[in-house]
Amino acid sequence: MHLTGLELALLHLAIGIVAFLYASVGHAGASGYIATLTLAGFGPDVVRPTALVLNILVASLTTYQFHRAGFFAWHRFWPFALMSVPAAFLGGYLHVPTDLFKIMVGIVLLLSAARFAVKTEDPAKTQFPPLWVALLVGLGLGLLSGLTGTGGGIFLTPVMLLLGWAKTKETAAVSAPFILVNSVSGLGGFIAGGRSLPGLAFPLIATAIVAGGLGAHCGSRRFPVRTIRLTLAVVLLIAGAKLVFGV
């Protein structure tokens, strides 16, 4: 597919905005990249791997920034990640019709967006779930990650916040590396299925790195919790609309 100079500039701008917004809440932007590239007219064989490549880069920067700011805790990360990685690989490898499934998940994300738009402060107390619960949640979200071509953080973050398992920036610090490992695994499953990376991914890398790095810095060190929760509502709105309306 050939893009004019203006179309390419607008694509870079849209990718940059997505990377900034998502990175500021501990995400990497896959659902936003998918929506943007789909609206630009690209097909699934280009959209899905391109989104995962950009996801890996932005998630790496976001993981670094939130870890550096002191919000990352290993004990909150590994129980979710342990089972999610092989499940994400399986989801990336499978070719299954998921239209109705995606609509249902999208509706849940839209409801979550409304919740965060209303409730913008952290709870006074949080309680991390038992190990077996975290492992099962990681398994389910990893599979969902691979099937939808995302890193899974768009699903993990609402679960952790709505159930009071961690505070906002602590959750972001878990979601970023969760997205990173699942994106790597999902991309591996995609390639193992006999498909290759599209050339479109490489021109967009610099834009995603610059915008994502700035967003991660602002989210981890500059933005107050209220701002992050409102931004999260926007991110979930984008992701939910993408899944429900197929864009």
Amino acid 234: pLDDT: 92
Q: Check residues 246 and 155 and name the one with the higher pLDDT.
A: 155
Give the mean pLDDT of 74-78: 95
Is the overall model pTM greater than 0.75, yes or no?
A: yes
- The answer on pLDDT for 97 being more than 70 is no
Count Cβ atoms below 10 Å from residue 236 Cβ, excluding itself: 28
Q: Check residues 212 and 242 and name the one with the higher pLDDT.
A: 212
Indicate the burial class of 87 (C-beta count within 10 angstroms; 0-12, 13-18, 19 or more).
Answer: buried
Which of 124-133, 173-182, 183-192 bottoms out in mean pLDDT, i.e. has the lowest? Answer: 183-192
Residue carrying the six token digits 């929506």 = 35
Amino acid 238: pLDDT: 87
Residues 34-46 have pLDDT tens digits of 888 888 888 878 8
**CA 239 remoteness from chain centre:** 9
Q: What band does 165 get if pLDDT is binned at 50, 70 and 90?
A: very high
Residues 201-223 have pLDDT tens digits of 888 999 999 999 999 999 999 99
| Helical segments of the chain, H only | 5-23, 30-39, 44-68, 74-93, 99-118, 131-148, 153-162, 168-192, 205-217, 225-245
Tell which residue, 72, 83, 33, 82, has the closest CA to residue 208.
Answer: 33
Structure tokens at 104: 């249902």
Give the mean pLDDT of 96-105: 70
Q: Check residues 72 and 39 and name the one with the higher pLDDT.
A: 72
Amino acid 154: pLDDT: 87
Count Cβ atoms below 10 Å from residue 151 Cβ, excluding itself: 39
Tell which residue, 26, 19, 242, 31, has the closest CA to residue 150.
Answer: 31
Give the mean pLDDT of 224-239: 92
Amino acid 228: pLDDT: 93
Amino acid 96: pLDDT: 64
- The answer on pLDDT for 25 being more than 70 is yes
